[in-house]
Amino acid sequence: MSANIVYAILVTSFATFLSRFLGALTSQGIKETSKLFKWFNCLAYATLAALIARTIIFPAGVLIESSYYSRSIVVFLSLFVFFLSKKNFVYPTIFSAICMAIINNYI
């Protein structure tokens, strides 16, 4: 069984580094203002929004024990911190973890 895990790690590492290598090679020819680049940008944001919505509506793991109300409060407060911190991702991420722990343990 341990050999299967090593093979899985090797295959996924190869796939990851191959895609990064090919992205680095082809990035010189892509303009940030092109329609294709904007489409991929929109696709990435839509995927992120879907994952966040899934986490709020259909949580997995420890989040199952928290209510929709508490998860919604944390998301809205984290969005507020995100815009307050000039669209920095670090502060709302840390804030959301702390806020969720406080809401679930003390409220």
Predicted confidence at residue 3, as pLDDT, reads 81
Residue 1 has pLDDT above 80, yes or no: no
Sign of CA dihedral 61, 76, 87, 58: positive
* Residues 45-102 pLDDT 10s: 999 899 988 988 899 888 888 888 999 999 999 999 999 999 998 999 999 999 999 9
* Region 19-38 average pLDDT: 85
Per-position b or e across 9-40, b if 16+ CB within 10 A of its CB: eeeeeeeeeeeeeeeeeeeeeeeeeeeeeeee
What's the rounded Cα separation, in Å, for the pair 64 and 55?
10
Predicted confidence at residue 85, as pLDDT, reads 95
Predicted confidence at residue 13, as pLDDT, reads 93
Domain ranges of the chain: 1-30, 31-106
